[in-house]
Chains A and B, each alone.
Chain A
């Protein structure tokens, strides 16, 4: 089984983001960037399938600026075999990315695409579903467990009110939820080894994909700030405040 794992370079989850003063977006210059956390879970899931003997080659792919090759390198250090960067300095939105990934899938013919359910920058939660649609493949989003079952896979999904398990034939697209696994840290020897792994470079033009953004961002604003309230001294005081002041109980 060949697995394609898309990874996205995003503002590190620990960074407190700042809206640009001209409201054109969120400041990303000089900010620490990392692999999207859900994509780390996807890389880990692919590596575990490989370690279990169920998967052969793992290809980590990213679309974005030249620096996104660092994100691919992180996936290679975790255990992916090779990388592909679709280099573009343009703004990429989920539909454009899904089209780029569909083009790569047609080139590489993987049996499975495993990717994060959502990127923590645009919080769109859409690219995996869109890729599955464009390929005409079945999808299993929000995965909390993956098991190889005969010629297909069984995926347990996080749904409202609990879990459901689906059976899918391959090829298929899986998007990862946070309980699927705990991603490993790359060891120093593996980081060294990853330097020798290849990252092929492509462009949207070379793949024949139009990535023109469909959504125009008019402006980005800070959300209204919540004022801190007050510290109460006791449970009695708390209950009285909720009953007599806030009138919510």
Chain B
């Protein structure tokens, strides 16, 4: 039986968590990928190029201009017969839509899956990743969101799938989109970044967060934050790394002025290399760090930027 993966797209590209969901679906069956929107030409082409995708379903309708839960869930429900599994990345859209669609088909969703053992057996983190639950689902159609940090996203090219149009069922969509305020950052997005530089309460103010910029620029890094920094109003919640924010697993994670609450560790402890910079030698972050530097961040960050620039110049 085939499986269906809901893809999130932006500017004609398929987002990283969705490509991780395609990777996670590989062992479950032939992969059909759903692209929905008001203008999906480029995104459908991009989906067709994803390695492993056998067929692209393209749903184009004005009601899909914004990825609202109600029309997307209705679309998934209309397509569900014939699929054993319906997957999405555990991003803001997947988390919003998948449980709604699952409930409409009397299925218990399986959220934030970090390993696929077989068609019925999945592993997912609970208690902020402090335990891993192996769960078995007997539901006829399994609805799953995929923890992107646990799978290597498929490449953007290599495949050549056919594209089939599908129609959005008629439905009243009572909720409507008013406006969005998106941070226009030139930096990579957190779930896709090879390097993440994060600041915590120790940064001290919203203005001081700019101290992370030179280091992030030199490393091509995304900028993240602990919940404490978000709570203190230093930076937007879309930058939050942790149990209730983004889950990341970059090659290099640099935690600056972050104490290392369980909540935060849940979002970054699978990073390949972790660096902690904190003036408190007792901070729990040092217990998970590969390299720790006990130092004042205000003198360390400019020095680090200088040394990274020097190292980069030498390597060039």
Contacts and interface: CB of A to CB of B under 8 A. Distances in A.
B243 interface: yes
Interface string B42-55: 00000000000000
Contact of A167 (B93, B135, B175): B175
B219 A214 contact: no
Interface residues of B, number: 92
B298 interface: no
A210 to B, nearest CB: 10
A62 interface: no
B211 interface: no
A95 interface: yes
Interface string A209-229: 000011111111111001011
A229 B100 contact: no
B180 A17 contact: no
Nearest to B102: A130
Interface in A113-141: 117-118, 120-127, 129-134, 138-141
Contacts, number: 261
A179 to B, nearest CB: 5
Interface residues of A, number: 80
A165 B99 contact: no
A11 B191 CA distance: 29
Interface stretch (A51-59, A82-90, A185-193, A241-249): A241-249
Given A129-B96, A132-B100, A238-B291, A164 B69 contact: no
Nearest to A221: B132
Given A217-B133, A218-B135, A220-B133, A246 B111 contact: no
Nearest to B231: A178
Contacts of B159: none
Nearest to B182: A162
Contacts of A154: 178
A168 B175 contact: yes
A213 B315 CA distance: 57
B231 A141 contact: no
Interface string A233-244: 011101111110
Interface stretch (B33-41, B122-130, B202-210): B122-130
Contacts of B230: 178-179
Interface stretch (B22-30, B78-86, B161-169, B282-290): B282-290
Nearest to A165: B178
B251 A165 contact: no
A125 B99 contact: yes
Contacts of A160: 91-93, 189, 191, 238
B138 interface: yes
A177 B97 CA distance: 17
A44 interface: no
Contacts of B131: 17, 19, 26, 220-223
Interface string B198-233: 000000000000000000000100000001001100
A242 B291 contact: yes
Where chain B touches its partner, the secondary structure class is mixed
B180 to A, nearest CB: 4
A61 B51 CA distance: 47
B215 to A, nearest CB: 11
A239 B126 contact: no
Interface in B83-117: 91-93, 95-104, 106-112
Contact of B108 (A16, A94, A165, A231): A94
A169 interface: yes
Given A26-B131, A125-B95, 20 more contacts: A94-B109, A125-B111, A130-B103, A139-B69, A158-B238, A159-B93, A160-B238, A162-B236, A163-B180, A163-B182, A163-B238, A164-B177, A215-B135, A221-B131, A228-B286, A228-B288, A229-B274, A231-B281, A232-B292, A249-B312
22 contacts: A26-B126, A26-B127, A94-B109, A133-B102, A139-B96, A140-B175, A158-B238, A160-B238, A163-B181, A165-B180, A166-B177, A169-B175, A178-B227, A213-B108, A214-B107, A217-B136, A226-B269, A231-B291, A239-B308, A241-B291, A246-B291, A249-B311
Interface of B: 66, 68-70, 73, 91-93, 95-104, 106-112, 121, 124-139, 174-183, 189, 191, 195, 219, 227, 230-231, 236-238, 243-244, 251-252, 262-263, 269, 272-275, 281, 286-295, 300, 303-304, 307-308, 311-312, 315
Closest 4 CB pairs of A and B: A214-B108, A130-B103, A229-B290, A126-B99
